[in-house]
Structure 1
């Protein structure tokens, strides 16, 4: 039996593969234990050979519904909570660990995505998806009933664990769709994202200000969505089982030889690395031993993981080295990750910018920040859907164009001041729209370029963890820049304005503390304060904040510049847009034997 060779010498199938990419197989001999019995049976079949009505069957339609609703649950677990954290804190807090409500989501998904992808490749996907829906349901119940912030953090941890399976549509969906329709199919999933992410600020603010249940309403909604997804996964989603994938071996054999050392190294490494980045500037100063030690130890463990996977003779490596040696794949997922980083960073920064710079002028309408926040969330989701509909071919050129235009528009947001809310909203929407377009095409490109589609979960699971890691790094860089610049600008801009307005110099420290902390009672008690001084101080604070946000937008150029350089080297993969389907579904145990299979023995 032969195996697709990881990185070179693969057979070019049906096409003139000018860039060395194909989904064919190699004649390079390897031992059975290291090749096809690990990857399992190749279920690839041409669309024309599928049973009549396959794409209208209940298993297929029910699975599509499960994938869409689950994606909405996965992204909604973060997107619904992020805009209203301050209101949640006011209700069941205050708690200095509030930021962990959002950070735990990124932490858990980043760690678990690589595990879900690899394990579901080996053992079959069905029960991992069902398990993700169960965890999501349980997590949202915990959040909905939380009486304090630690309980909410615990619930969000479960939500994040479940989301690692729920947002894995890049392999659960793409493998059951013909290659040529993958972009359009991904657009279908992003329609669900438009609801759960694009409209998330509006929905969240509506629950807070328009209903009696308040912020808990977002979790009641997520409970219903998770339960729906769970039902669909259980009754309709029947991909190839373990026995269908590996007819010659048992689960015990796979469990016995699994890469436990690599799993330990990457799990602990990512946890420590993420925790160090999350602690810095929040719970502990950046120069703190807690922060430095966790980041350094986490980084060392991740390096050790890479070396272990590369040099140890592993039968079931958690991350086969040929995945990371595939240059074009690594370029593609880096670009995909940079697009994601923009969303996760600005999902935190953009709402605070709206309130700080423009909230005062719209204080009479508590829903205004929710509407304005749609510029980011709605722009991303709108771009994802539109990009899926209009992109047909030459995906690499679309990636290059959308990355450049989106990056330029977001950088241009640096030109905004406290007097230009409309310009800020328009630029954020347009920039986010192109980044959303980039998201759908780069994620599809990453799935198409995987040489052996039997390892799609492994490759995309690694891409998801890589994406979360890079997103966390970028988010940390942006928030640190904002914090540092805000401290410096307030110190240099506010005192002169306050003194000129008539505030005694001895009262400046108390005034700044009260104003930046939002404590209006303390502000009125500052010695020598007057309405005129408060107005002057508020204006100076807005100017200092605008200068600080300007620096953040400029900093995006560094990350987007790396992506633009990488995009230049992406090859044209139009020849991969074929009618082949990687994996076919069946309707249950009685139907397992009817699933179309390729011949195991390849010449």
Structure 2
């Protein structure tokens, strides 16, 4: 409940903001935004100028709820569906297009991240995030009522677009809390995602036991997204367009917007990522490999579809887009992405570290559930529990990372956690068949790389030349994060497919032939072991109980050898992270009490918009 005292305090904020508006960041350059064009309430200020009651106000707490719930819905759109995608395919298909259910989520998210940040910096954030959650509501309803795989893919496109808004939480929270508390505030957001992130696999498997099965996950996300949209609408009132631009018209900003840069960036990124996902063999994102076809080959890496997308997308994204931004022929048009963000070493290091962390998260979310089903003999319930261990360790690490960043400082913490995580994840290759050892190493590695990723994401908001570019910088950071994630998933999927293609024939074929199985029956046996057919004497001529036991044991060893390669591959990302951490700068403590933004009382919006500087 807002009080009359709050109205008085807001007017005082207008006066103090005029006197106290430091340029925040390690680079002491003049901000791009024209301060005189902003209403005082739309500018940053010192925390001391904000009354303590503001932190307990409905608008602040409600905004924090909206951010947390939105993040919860955004992560659930992927994490609740991936573990049971095999069962979904059995119900609605089977369809070879099922692999695109997970792919389009990441692609949509990656393309829209920077767009959300840039446009909300210019036009105000409120309606962007309301609409973002509403898109999530529509997408999850479409998914819950889908009758075929193509409809399900369409739902994930909408959910992925929505996630670009919702997973922008780290810079939206950073805008409304003092800089010193940004790490802890983000830990709160990670805690909200416990049902849709670390416990997602368990919840998804539990829904499978109900009458509505996997549709329950979609209905659950629908409720979360709807509640988020309500909170955004009722409580989140950041500076409006008129408060951000008292001397400019929307039509002028639209006319002078870098539409060509936007087209080159989004088009190049989308085409390039499509090429990455079309190449090689992609695994279905499922909790158990035994319930669905093991893989779905799209195109060879040498195919024209793949090469054409990679070359065209790469030329547009890495050559045409930078060239256009550098040589922008229109003097009154600001580049879509400020060029200094690409030369800001600390910012770039933080962005790519978040990508490395997310790449491990998505990669191990894909690989580990398959390893659980392929390597260990477990009940369906226990598979559901263990399948989520990697994600669980990662998210709990993200929560703990906020505490570490606040207590001991982010730079020291980012360095130490990454240097622990990378070797530990690689060490999981020691003996994949030793379940306890492998689980312990993966959980530990995921925990520390999660802690590193969370702190890097928040640290990326500190090294900007002005905090008024939080949306633009945060959007680019999110896009880089998604880009690396897509690369990681493509690499992990291709390596696993190729290695299994080598190790399974090498270990299984000689073992079963020596046990007495006719060579002509080996292909049917391999299909059965992969979950693509039955393991019976009628479907596999010559199969006996003894031969079947031999085959299963050889198949486990073949998979163990393949997963060893995956764990070694993880060091390609972790090793890069061990180098990047040294380029992260320490935060400027003199700015730790600075608050970049504010959520105002909606009853005062007109007065704030009309306030004179």
Above 0.5 in TM-score? yes
Q: Check if 1:395 corresponds to 2:410.
A: yes
Deviation for aligned residue 1:379? 0.6
How many Å separate the matches in 2 of 1:55 and 1:523? 69
How many Å separate the matches in 2 of 1:213 and 1:497? 43
What does 1:531-570 align with in structure 2 at a 5 Å threshold?
A: 531-570=545-584
Q: Check if 1:433 corresponds to 2:433.
A: no
Deviation for aligned residue 1:430? 1.0
Query: What is the total number of aligned residue pairs between the two structures?
Result: 571
| Match of residue 22 from structure 1 | 26
Counterpart selection for 1:327 from 342, 345, 364: 345
Deviation for aligned residue 1:374? 2.7
How many Å separate the matches in 2 of 1:437 and 1:369? 26
| Match of residue 14 from structure 2 | none
How many Å separate the matches in 2 of 1:266 and 1:579? 35
Deviation for aligned residue 1:383? 1.1
What does 1:277-356 align with in structure 2 at a 5 Å threshold?
A: 277-280=276-279, 281=281, 282-303=297-318, 304-313=320-329, 315-356=333-374
My pick for the range that moved more, 530-539 or 111-120, is 530-539
**SS in structure 2 opposite 1:499?**
helix
**Which string of whole-angstrom CA distances, capped at 9 and with x for unpartnered residues, describes residues 494-547 of structure 1?**
211112211122322332233224422566422221111111111111111110
Contact 2:243 2:609 in 1 (8 A): no
Deviation for aligned residue 1:93? 1.2
How many Å separate the matches in 1 of 2:540 and 2:37? 70
Q: How does the TM-score come out when normalised to structure 2?
A: 0.89
How many Å separate the matches in 2 of 1:576 and 1:97? 53
Pair 1:173–1:313, CA change in 2 (3 A): farther
**Which string of whole-angstrom CA distances, capped at 9 and with x for unpartnered residues, describes residues 57-89 of structure 1?**
111111000000000000110110011101111
Contact 1:81 1:204 in 2 (8 A): yes
Contact 1:95 1:149 in 2 (8 A): yes
RMSD between aligned residues: 2.2
Q: Check if 1:371 corresponds to 2:385.
A: yes
Structure 1 residue runs without a partner (length 5+)? 1-12, 28-33
How many Å separate the matches in 2 of 1:266 and 1:328? 22
How many Å separate the matches in 1 of 2:247 and 2:605? 20
Pair 1:426–1:465, CA change in 2 (3 A): same
| Match of residue 423 from structure 2 | 408
What does 1:194-273 align with in structure 2 at a 5 Å threshold?
A: 194-209=194-209, 211-273=210-272
| Match of residue 163 from structure 1 | 163
Contact 2:265 2:321 in 1 (8 A): yes
* Runs of 4+ residues over 3 Å off in structure 1: 23-27, 37-42, 521-524, 591-597
Q: How does the TM-score come out when normalised to structure 1?
A: 0.91
How many Å separate the matches in 2 of 1:233 and 1:150? 31
How many Å separate the matches in 2 of 1:577 and 1:92? 54
| Match of residue 30 from structure 1 | none
Deviation for aligned residue 1:416? 2.5
Counterpart selection for 2:467 from 453, 456, 475: 453
How many Å separate the matches in 1 of 2:187 and 2:167? 14
How many Å separate the matches in 2 of 1:544 and 1:537? 10
Contact 1:411 1:553 in 2 (8 A): yes
What does 1:77-156 align with in structure 2 at a 5 Å threshold?
A: 77-156=77-156
Pair 1:255–1:595, CA change in 2 (3 A): closer
Deviation for aligned residue 1:37? 7.1
| Match of residue 177 from structure 1 | 177
How many Å separate the matches in 2 of 1:537 and 1:290? 37
